[in-house]
Chains A and B, each alone.
Chain A
């Protein structure tokens, strides 16, 4: 009842931010990232102003999406959790069956008027579903509920993995796992999951991973194995980052990016462009913004009134972190190349809309408070 009392303590009228359901500090952090995105995309695209304009449109659209999502109270999400989940899984199955093949993977469903990527929506639907399911019962979650939760996670993760889209399936999976973790899944279960992960990953290696994914892992361990093939991305990316040094080569002056040695430099490898041109200092500034956003979101989560809101906000936040960790880890050679964009900075609308919708949910959690219950 702490929160209630605190709410009651402020007898003043609701502040503006709560009226329009936005959290200004969080919004400031997000806008800062988006500004960085526009600046770096301009450089990474070879000073292509049309591309910057398209990215600006992406920013606008995703801000609108965030604003719209923020208007719905968390109870609305709870109510729709099950139907959304079933529709989402249904669409994933449909994608596998009739999906549009692009870059060798089936990710899109073409509705005629628009293309839709169900796996993107799943990044939000799954944490909502898991959180909804697990918070129906008293916390900490029991082993039985955790087990059912894991099964619920496994279904969409497997379907996305089959597309094949390893990056997204990792992100979707981690969103669900974080929900379980925050719901108080016991440490015993966590440890046994980690221990069982070892034989599981060996089995994965031999039976489930595609050849190209295996090669990616192998080249991660030793990029020189294949300097012109799979290792090329990692080598060129590390050269870009390393040659940036402490203070960088300056905006538009990165030779690795301007001379196109860096692959996918405006999407997955945009972090390398930033590192090359702005150096370690620029990188630390970027990481600080990320850390601020995460801290603010976890603060919001902790201050939420009910377990569903808390866990959902926490899971979305931690997934956001997985995004940036996997991306930066991969471009700097710590993790294999799995095709995860740098959140809110990489060029592209799809992931940005999903991410901002996620932040919309967090803002809704923060602003839709039941003041008088």
Chain B
């Protein structure tokens, strides 16, 4: 209806002025709104300029941390124990790839891509920003690298990246001492945040997880550098504004002699056991072997579940037996028991007793048997050590009593952490009245004391503690904290780690040391000594003490027959010793679990280690740590690790 034409009666003047009014109102509105815009822009551009300027710079300038190269680890002769080698991985940048699934399929034609790898890739592709490179397949073989390289030109967004990865050339023989590095995990990250070290670890992928690698993580890690880059909105680098190079981690020189280490590991030959060797003159740990072991390189790239399950076997390869294996020390502490007796004037050099083959407390029926059923006859302190006479030490222990024994043995470090520079360590047990009350809520019985005389009962010790105790005897009371680390090499040059001497064991009569030492000498050098046959013909004079730790009690009328007893319940073979006798350079403990007699199963191993170590010192004095010179084998960090980062 409104389309119907009608001639309006119009007042043109009124209409004109109406429009003029409305136009002016509209124009005023326009001006006001433009002013609103200007005020708002003034606020943004002038008042808040600084803040937006900062944000604009924050947008375009990114600080990219550069990971420092991890320090290398050498043995005392400069042989590389842990190095960084480039490994190649196949990576994709999702942003540059047209069709991810299709590209992965194409790559799968060239190299095998497992479903697992594919799934892991797609998962992280979803989480990360699209311009970030994501690993599809790591640890490419040279053939795979070659095969991929010739095809890369037709696969945009696909590249082969070289990264430095830790490699342990000596594999399983060193695992427990050296430890390993593994990928940084959530737990590590939480700890890094807790310690406020996010900046230090900003570019780091691996973290020391065990042994030296963990203990000296800070030294080995170094300080990251950074690169200030200008990026566009997709994070692509436009140009580098500033670059600060990282301070690489320090190289570490261990006191370990890899030859001793390897030999000991070979000789243990997969049996359960441990060898620990220390220099009694400074506490340097020359060898620290735990067997069975495992390949640390497995952990560097992330161990598979299958492989990890294997490590959970009954033989417990994950345990560092040298520091965490607690064994009854058995006869290997008889020289210490003799010292305690001499110091308390219970015995002297000439005291002798008659050994009928057993020991009995007055008024108690139970007999404590000697390992020689018919007895050793008349024994003095030397013969008691030489022949490892049990009855003699039953008597000494009984007369000393628990309190004097535990106080005396405490001085030799039993039941205490040794202070070794790795975190994995157990204290073992040096029993006392108080300990038994707390642990078992029982009083101390006189019978308990008697077995202590031959290192049984509740007494347990790690091989490292036994070595330290032996070294203390060898050094006539001097105590050094055992140290795996010998020196570190950083930008400030080589830094020797000084020996850490602790307050020594002081005897009332220093001659007593000589009695203990002479007793140990007889074990090896007197034709009747338990280890005489093993060390016959050696180029050096050594001293020692064998031990055979009984793991189950044998009834009084029963005979020990190894064949009848399950392997796990057979005796542990033990040997402690040191050499050369007059100027000790090496003290050792050998433990072979369930191997039977100490002199037959453990002592031969000790001899082989002595042979190598002492011959070396005679023939070629290349030891870095005794001569303070860098061996020629040492390659410089820069040339061995290259500049593979920075790509």
**Scoring B residues 333 to 372 as 1 if CB is less than 8 Å from chain A, else 0, what string do you get?**
0000000000000000000000000000000000000000
A292 vs chain B, min Cβ distance (A): 11
Most buried by B among A255, A284, A294, A311: A255
B318 vs chain A, min Cβ distance (A): 44
Q: Contact: B44 with A241, CB < 8 Å?
A: yes
Q: Contact: A238 with B44, CB < 8 Å?
A: yes
Query: When chains A and B are docked, how far (Å) is the Cα of A284 from the Cα of B33?
Result: 14
* Candidates B14, B45, B234; contact of A246 at CB < 8 Å: B45
Interface check A31, CB cutoff 8 A: no
Most buried by A among B48, B56, B57: B56
A301 vs chain B, min Cβ distance (A): 6
Q: Contact: A260 with B234, CB < 8 Å?
A: yes
Query: When chains A and B are docked, how far (Å) is the Cα of A256 from the Cα of B61?
Result: 11
Given contact pairs A181-B26, A287-B38, A138 touches B11 in the complex (Cβ within 8 A): yes
A171 vs chain B, min Cβ distance (A): 15
Question: Which residues from chain A contact B49 at a C-beta distance below 8 Å?
Answer: 242-243, 245-246
A127 vs chain B, min Cβ distance (A): 14
* Candidates B23, B34, B44; contact of A314 at CB < 8 Å: B23
Q: Contact: B53 with A245, CB < 8 Å?
A: yes
Interface check B27, CB cutoff 8 A: yes
Interface check A275, CB cutoff 8 A: yes
Interface check B9, CB cutoff 8 A: yes
Segment at the B interface, from A20-28, A106-114, A212-220, A328-336: A328-336
Query: When chains A and B are docked, how far (Å) is the Cα of A246 from the Cα of B27?
Result: 27
Given contact pairs A137-B6, A182-B26, A243 touches B55 in the complex (Cβ within 8 A): yes
Segment at the A interface, from B139-147, B162-170, B214-222, B225-233: B225-233
* Candidates B15, B48, B233; contact of A242 at CB < 8 Å: B48
Q: Contact: A239 with B231, CB < 8 Å?
A: no
Question: Which residues from chain A contact B46 at a C-beta distance below 8 Å?
Answer: 245-246, 280
Interface check A178, CB cutoff 8 A: yes
Q: Contact: B232 with A261, CB < 8 Å?
A: yes
Interface check A283, CB cutoff 8 A: yes
Query: When chains A and B are docked, how far (Å) is the Cα of A333 from the Cα of B59?
Result: 19
Q: Contact: A329 with B56, CB < 8 Å?
A: no
B51 vs chain A, min Cβ distance (A): 7
Q: Contact: B233 with A325, CB < 8 Å?
A: no
**Scoring B residues 9 to 31 as 1 if CB is less than 8 Å from chain A, else 0, what string do you get?**
11110111011101100110011
* Candidates B33, B42, B55; contact of A280 at CB < 8 Å: B42
Q: Contact: B19 with A302, CB < 8 Å?
A: yes
Q: In chain A, what residue has the closest Cβ to B31?
A: A291
Interface check A295, CB cutoff 8 A: yes
B358 vs chain A, min Cβ distance (A): 84
Q: Contact: B59 with A184, CB < 8 Å?
A: no
Question: Which residues from chain A contact B20 at a C-beta distance below 8 Å?
Answer: 302
Q: How large is the interface on B (under 10, 10 to 19, 20 to 34, 35 or more residues)?
A: 35 or more
Interface check A359, CB cutoff 8 A: no
Interface check A139, CB cutoff 8 A: yes
Interface check B445, CB cutoff 8 A: no
Interface check A270, CB cutoff 8 A: no
Q: Contact: A241 with B45, CB < 8 Å?
A: yes
Interface check A74, CB cutoff 8 A: no
Interface check B555, CB cutoff 8 A: no
**Scoring A residues 244 to 256 as 1 if CB is less than 8 Å from chain B, else 0, what string do you get?**
1110000000011
Query: When chains A and B are docked, how far (Å) is the Cα of A182 from the Cα of B26?
Result: 8
Question: Which residues from chain B contact A148 at a C-beta distance below 8 Å?
Answer: 2
Within 8 A of B (CB), among A95-150: 133, 136-140, 145, 148
* Candidates A182, A256, A302; contact of B59 at CB < 8 Å: A256
Given contact pairs A287-B38, A298-B26, A302-B23, A307 touches B56 in the complex (Cβ within 8 A): no
* Candidates B5, B37, B231; contact of A259 at CB < 8 Å: B231
Q: Contact: B44 with A259, CB < 8 Å?
A: no
Q: Contact: A287 with B232, CB < 8 Å?
A: no
Q: Contact: B30 with A259, CB < 8 Å?
A: no
Interface check A318, CB cutoff 8 A: yes
Question: Which residues from chain A contact B19 at a C-beta distance below 8 Å?
Answer: 139, 182, 184, 301-302, 307, 310-311, 314
Q: Contact: A295 with B51, CB < 8 Å?
A: no
Q: Contact: A294 with B45, CB < 8 Å?
A: no
Q: Contact: A287 with B34, CB < 8 Å?
A: yes
Q: In chain B, what residue has the closest Cβ to A304?
A: B19
Q: Contact: B30 with A244, CB < 8 Å?
A: no
Query: When chains A and B are docked, how far (Å) is the Cα of A255 from the Cα of B62?
Result: 14
Question: Which residues from chain A contact B6 at a C-beta distance below 8 Å?
Answer: 136-137
Q: Contact: B55 with A139, CB < 8 Å?
A: no
Q: Contact: B8 with A242, CB < 8 Å?
A: no
Question: Which residues from chain B contact A328 at a C-beta distance below 8 Å?
Answer: 37, 41
Q: In chain A, what residue has the closest Cβ to B18?
A: A184
Interface check B3, CB cutoff 8 A: yes
B332 vs chain A, min Cβ distance (A): 67
Within 8 A of A (CB), among B32-83: 33-34, 36-38, 40-42, 44-46, 48-49, 51-53, 55-57, 59-60
* Candidates B3, B10, B41; contact of A241 at CB < 8 Å: B41
Question: Which residues from chain B contact A172 at a C-beta distance below 8 Å?
Answer: none
Q: Contact: A255 with B59, CB < 8 Å?
A: yes
* Candidates A178, A280, A290, A291; contact of B45 at CB < 8 Å: A280
Query: When chains A and B are docked, how far (Å) is the Cα of A196 from the Cα of B415?
Result: 87
**Scoring A residues 345 to 362 as 1 if CB is less than 8 Å from chain B, else 0, what string do you get?**
000000000000000000
B59 vs chain A, min Cβ distance (A): 5
Question: Which residues from chain A contact B34 at a C-beta distance below 8 Å?
Answer: 287, 290-291, 325
Within 8 A of B (CB), among A139-179: 139-140, 145, 148, 178
Most buried by B among A246, A259, A329: A259
Interface check B238, CB cutoff 8 A: yes
* Candidates A238, A243, A275; contact of B53 at CB < 8 Å: A243
Q: Contact: B22 with A261, CB < 8 Å?
A: no
Question: Which residues from chain A contact B27 at a C-beta distance below 8 Å?
Answer: 294-295, 298
Q: Contact: A245 with B59, CB < 8 Å?
A: no
Q: Contact: A244 with B45, CB < 8 Å?
A: yes
Residues of chain B at the chain A interface (Cβ within 8 Å): 2-3, 5-6, 8-12, 14-16, 18-20, 22-23, 26-27, 30-31, 33-34, 36-38, 40-42, 44-46, 48-49, 51-53, 55-57, 59-60, 230-234, 238
A-B contacts, 5 listed (Cβ < 8 Å) = A139-B15, A139-B19, A184-B15, A243-B56, A287-B38
List 7 A-B pairs, minimum CB-CB distance, nearest first. A242-B52, A243-B56, A259-B232, A260-B233, A280-B45, A261-B233, A245-B49
List 17 additional contacts besides A148-B2, A328-B41; criterion CB under 8 Å.
A139-B14, A139-B15, A139-B19, A239-B56, A243-B49, A243-B56, A246-B45, A255-B56, A255-B57, A255-B60, A256-B60, A259-B233, A261-B59, A295-B27, A298-B27, A314-B23, A325-B34
